[in-house]
Amino acid sequence: MSTPRTPLPPSRLPNVGTTIFTVMSALAAEHGAVNLGQGFPDFDCDPALLACVQQAMAEGLNQYPPMAGVAPLREAMAAKISTLYGHRYDAASEITVTAGATQAILTAILAIVGPGDEVIVLEPNYDSYVPNIELAGGVVVRVALQAGTFRPDFDAIAAAITPRTRAIIVNTPHNPSASIWRQADMQRLAEILAPTDVLLISDEVYEHMVYDGEPHASAARIPELAARSFVISSFGKTYHVTGWKVGTVAAPAPLTAEFRKVHQFNVFTVNTPMQHGLARFMADPKPYLDLPAFYQHKRDLFRAGLAGTRFQLLPSEGSYFQVVDYSAISSLNEADFCRWLTTEIGVAAIPLSAFYGDGRNQGLVRFCYAKRDETLQAALARLARL
């Protein structure tokens, strides 16, 4: 009797393995390290949000919602964007609720990118962008952010645009560097894209984590960009519920129509009671309006603690990340340094090399400070040995 055989088709993603986030989190658990690697909070959300979801469940709101999302949540998002960024999206035809921002990005790419289409990605970049483009049959065009500052290089962006360019992905506040784009940057991008048909996927999941009084430079603020953009937001990031995986995409009606064609066949729709709960919780804007001060406190606490080490701190203008240069501490490459830091010092971080296609080593690692103050203090006590 022959041995059962598993046929293996050609891999759609032959160069993709287990993500560095999974690897480092497992290593942190194995060694009892404080995990400042993966980007999620270790504290609970507002109990009032849980109460809103529980109320929706108790009211029987537990069956399939509309494919595009429940009307109250889409209306709440349209109102919020209008108030904060000055652009009014039609809730019915221009706002879609998604199963988190990662699904939103994949769906946007699948909706607009075909075989051979080029998509500009600014490195370092969040790790889902490139596989998403490859799954769509697109061609990844990598443009590096400026070394050291992680500012956009607009000359390089303009030079990368060809007749085959379908889209560019921009992320602000930026993961992993914690840099931000400003209004003038978005205006410059609008000028570059104006004579083209290039679309913008604007990943703005950290929109409420911008510090030192700076406003968030949403693509929705610039009419010329809003007209060609998918603007992506995350309730998980905003309300400390990353495991809920609920986000939104705002886009002009023609782009939304194409987005929803794909959305209805990859997830169809999103958790009903959580949508209703979020819509009710959004009636009070205070939680997201207070978020910059909440996270700036954690940033400042963490940076003050690191000031006594040999780490060189890069600016943390937004998001909940802190990048440090460890070249005064070790000559190990970034991945090996993170393993050493986890196993020997007891604090997990993420190498920036994981966010580059060529895995370049610059002596930089990323910490996440979306943690309880006690967690940050515990990590700082261990890092003080450096």
User: What are the structural domains of the chain?
Assistant: 20-39+289-383 (3.90.1150.10), 47-284 (3.40.640.10)
pLDDT of residue 174: 98
Instruction: Tell me which residue has tokens 């190990």.
Output: 332
pTM to 2 decimal places: 0.96
pLDDT of residue 39: 87
Mean pLDDT value of segment 13-36: 89
pLDDT of residue 65: 97
Give the percent of the chain with pLDDT over 90. 94
Mean pLDDT value of segment 316-341: 97
pLDDT of residue 21: 82
pLDDT of residue 17: 80
Residue 249 · residue 111 · CB < 8 Å: no
Distance CA 198, CA 299 (A): 36
List, in order, residues 6 or more apart from 352 with CB less than 8 Å away. Answer: 124, 176, 177, 323, 334, 362, 364, 365, 366
Angle at 240 between CA 236 and CA 243, to 5 degrees: 50
For the chain, what is the mean pLDDT? 96
Give the percent of the chain with pLDDT over 70. 100
pLDDT of residue 18: 77
pLDDT at 2 > cutoff 90: no
Mean pLDDT value of segment 275-301: 98
What one-letter code names the amino acid at 143?
V
pLDDT of residue 262: 98
3-state secondary structure of 97: strand
Confidence band (pLDDT; 50, 70, 90) for 24?
confident
Mean pLDDT value of segment 117-129: 97
Instruction: Tell me which residue has tokens 């169809």.
Output: 268
pLDDT of residue 92: 98
Q: What is the Cα Rg of the chain in Å?
A: 21
pLDDT at 205 > cutoff 80: yes
Angle at 29 between CA 25 and CA 32, to 5 degrees: 130
Q: What pLDDT, in 10s, does the model give residues 30-88? A: 999 999 998 889 999 999 999 999 999 999 999 999 999 999 999 999 999 999 999 99
pLDDT of residue 19: 80
pLDDT at 20 > cutoff 90: no
Mean pLDDT value of segment 323-352: 97
Distance CA 275, CA 250 (A): 16
Distance CA 367, CA 31 (A): 17
List, in order, residues 6 or more apart from 172 with CB less than 8 Å away. Answer: 179, 180, 181, 202, 203, 204, 206, 216, 217, 318
Mean pLDDT value of segment 145-164: 97
Mean pLDDT value of segment 176-195: 98
pLDDT of residue 176: 97
pLDDT at 364 > cutoff 90: yes
pLDDT of residue 22: 85
List, in order, residues 6 or more apart from 82 with CB less than 8 Å away. Answer: 88, 89
Q: Count Cα neighbours of 313 within 13 Å in the Cβ-side half-sphere.
A: 16
